[in-house]
Structure 1
Amino acid sequence: METKRKRAFDTILQALFTPYRELVPDVQKISKAMISHGIIQDENEIVNDHIAFRTLGIPNLGINSFEKIFLHYGYQKRDYYYFEGKKLDAYWYAPPEDHYPRIFMSELRVSELSEEAQHIIKKYTQDITSDPVDHIDLDDTKEVGQFFYKPLWKIPSLADYNTLADESEYAAWVIYNRYYLNHYTISVHDLPNAYNTIEKFNVFLESIDIKLNTSGGKIKTSEDGLLKQSSTIAKMVAAEFMDSEKAEIAGSYVEFAERLPLPSYLDRKIKTFSRQQRRDGFESANADKIFESTYREQTKNV
């Protein structure tokens, strides 16, 4: 990745992360506690395993549109995932350089929702008659940074939000939040030994009163046992809807990932494993439960 493009992408990531960091209380709470406990000296030492976005699968939006931003900066599209119960498709994207986060991008299969839910989504998105990403200069860092928070459709009514939430909490989250960053992920295995497993780090998190997503258990483990994940429960945030109606809804959250070394490297007496020597990609069963960090069944416990 050439230096100029690298600087540009760094600026874009900063524009994406800054509002998220300011509006998701657990981000700074965890970072400050990690510093005060001597786990890190500075927030910049945290390795970001991946960031995630939610989208709607309708013409001119969804993955085919949104991925253009990251493909432009050298990301490579990798494995496909299907979540039957939640009616979602997803892909992950490998970064152009190891120090950049992976991307996990999901999309709601809108055509599989009820007619009422489809009608609500169409009501808000019907005026999007061309791909909005095609109308921004992907080399303009300010324009791209602003796009993540650009209101592509009007704020929904509270009634429409609740109707969607009753059928698909994912749909409700996206219709209000649009492309807002859903979560970032602390790479646990990159932390000092006393904290470098999900089990150890979860103990630390709960010691500072962080509430963890319990769907599927606090620790979600891949079938091969090499990817372990946990996440906070999204805090409820004050939201204003159409006609100045107000309600508290789920915001974004923080995830934690531990990628264990691949078995083929374990007998080589390696002390520090590289990214390539650890489990890569994602696990649909893990992700299925991580999605629920914004769901009512979890947020009622916060």
Structure 2
Amino acid sequence: MGVQKLFDQLWSDFNGRLCPSSHIIHELLKQDKALINDHIALRTFNCSSIALEVLAKPFIELGYQEGGDYVFKAKKLVAKHYQHPDPTMPKVFISQLQLEQCSSELQSIVKKLTDQIEPSKLQDSAFLHGGRLWDVNFDDYQRLAKESEYASWVAAHGFGANHFTVSVNQLAQFEDVSEVNAFLKDNHFAINASGGEVKGCPEVLLEQSSTMADKVEVVFSDGVQLISGGFYEFAKRYEMSAGNLYQGFVEASADKIFESTNN
């Protein structure tokens, strides 16, 4: 499979299952040429069968290379980003919850979920956009959410991009991220205000913002519930001293972007 086909499949899953409003935002921002996707983000648990490295493997096989490492102590997360030698290809940001730092109750619930995974389901890249590989009830979802919103999101949605990201650098009609935010608010989209609507600044070489996640229907084993799904992000990158655009991520900003899926 080619890189573009994989991202097409991730996009189809994202706007069909996790963030239906992405169609509208895409239409609002589109120009004469296709929008540039700066990066996607994937979430997982650090158990061996579905650890960060397992999710990264299909991308590495398509030519991606490790970029930076990130730690989010308060959320008990670690992350890596991967980038392709072709700078027009999106970066991939993969995070995982460090289960050993969580309560025994959370670990027990997650084990109950991951024990249901059939190894054959992980044999090709299709699992990256295949949703859940387990059944989960709404009570367990709520118990997870009390300790870790991140854990509850993965339990409910499984695998798929929790966000795509429009590159603001390419948008001719907007100079910066704050202008994109104002435009989207005028079109009745809620912007994640945690840590400020614009996360980052030119001094750290990256500015980011995001919508709040769509509410989507999820089928639990004991009924259907409306919960937070995916969201759309917007990023502007600044030139480094060598004249190239910064390609990494800023932990303090990413920490607040995670909160776009808070219920």
SS where residue 53 of structure 2 aligns? Answer: helix
Aligned partner of 2:66 in structure 1 is: 77
Equivalence map 1:56-75=2 (5 Å)? 56-75=45-64
Among 69, 72, 88, the residue aligned to 1:99: 88
CA distance in 2, matches of 1:46, 1:218: 22
User: Displacement, 1:126?
Assistant: 2.0
Q: Does the CA contact (< 8 Å) of 1:238 and 1:248 recur in 2? A: yes
Q: 2:32 matched to 1:41?
A: yes
Aligned residues: 262
Any conservation in 1 of the 2:46–2:97 contact (CA below 8 Å)? yes
Shift of residue 54, structure 1, vs aligned partner: 0.3
Q: 1:1-302 residue pairs with structure 2 within 5 A? A: 8-23=2-17, 24-35=19-30, 40-41=31-32, 45-128=34-117, 133=122, 135-136=123-124, 144-145=125-126, 147-149=128-130, 151-153=132-134, 155-192=135-172, 194-221=173-200, 224-243=203-222, 245-265=223-243, 277-296=244-263
What is the SS of the residue equivalent to 1:195? coil
- Using the alignment, how far apart are the partners of 2:16 and 2:221 within structure 1? 24
Contact 1:222 1:283 in 2 (8 A): no
Whether contact under 8 Å (1:222, 1:286) holds in the other structure is no
More strand by share: 2
User: Please, which runs of 5 or more residues in structure 1 have no aligned partner?
Assistant: 137-143, 266-276, 297-302
Query: Alignment partner of 2:48: what SS?
Result: coil
The alpha-carbon deviation at position 188 of structure 1 amounts to: 0.2
The AA in structure 2 aligned to 1:70 is F
The structure whose Rg is larger is 1
| Seq. identity, % | 34
CA distance in 2, matches of 1:215, 1:131: 40
| Normalised TM-score (structure 1) | 0.82
Alpha-carbon RMSD across the aligned residues, in angstroms, is 1.9
| Aligned twin of 1:299 | none
Q: In the TM superposition, what whole-angstrom CA distance separates every residue of 1:119-157 from its partner, at most 9, and x where no partner exists?
A: 111111124485853x33xxxxxxx3465215422x210
TM-score with structure 2 length normalisation? 0.93
Question: Compared with structure 1, are the counterparts of its residues 226 and 150 closer, same or farther at alpha carbon in structure 2 (3 Å cutoff)?
Answer: closer
